[in-house]
Amino acid sequence: DAKTTQPNSMESNEEEPVHLPCNHSTISGTDYIHWYRQLPSQGPEYVIHGLTSNVNNRMASLAIAEDRKSSTLILHRATLRDAAVYYCILRGQTDSWGKFQFGAGTQVVVTP
């Protein structure tokens, strides 16, 4: 399975943008990049996903490098409710049975 690497933690001030990096140097051409976040004592929730082009939705933006070996999740204006663990994972045809493998993620701390 293709692996991802994320920083352990990041801090941001409220109402400032947050850029969360993810490295996936062994990504294959058919792997989708998915992002999830987990608030304390809750199950993870889907944030965004993409294949090659940058993606935007109401929660965040996903910027994918041209060589697809890295991506960045962008929270445009951090709020206290964005404090969570953010997971970057790959899902592709090499993953038998369609399974999702989560790494340790990035703990985002938002300071008022």
Partner 1 sequence: SQTIHQWPATLVQPVGSPLSLECTVEGTSNPNLYWYRQAAGRGLQLLFYSVGIGQISSEVPQNLSASRPQDRQFILSSKKLLLSDSGFYLCAWSLLQGLNRPLHFGNGTRLTVT
- 11 sits near partner 1 (criterion: CB under 8 A): no
Residues in a beta bridge with 50: 33
- Compute how many residues bind partner 1; rule: CB under 8 A: 26
Closest CA to 28 of 3, 49, 53, 10: 3
Cβ 88 to partner 1 shortest distance, Å = 12
Cβ 15 to partner 1 shortest distance, Å = 28
* Residues 49-108 close enough to bind partner 1 by CB under 8 A: 49, 51, 87, 91-93, 97-105
- Output 34 or 70, the one with its CB closest to partner 1: 34
Which pairs from 4-8 meet CB under 8 Å and 24+ separation? 4/88, 4/89, 4/90, 4/103, 5/103, 6/86, 6/87, 6/88, 6/103, 6/104, 6/105, 6/106, 7/106, 8/104, 8/106, 8/107
- 43 sits near partner 1 (criterion: CB under 8 A): yes
Cβ 39 to partner 1 shortest distance, Å = 11
- Output 25 or 94, the one with its CB closest to partner 1: 94
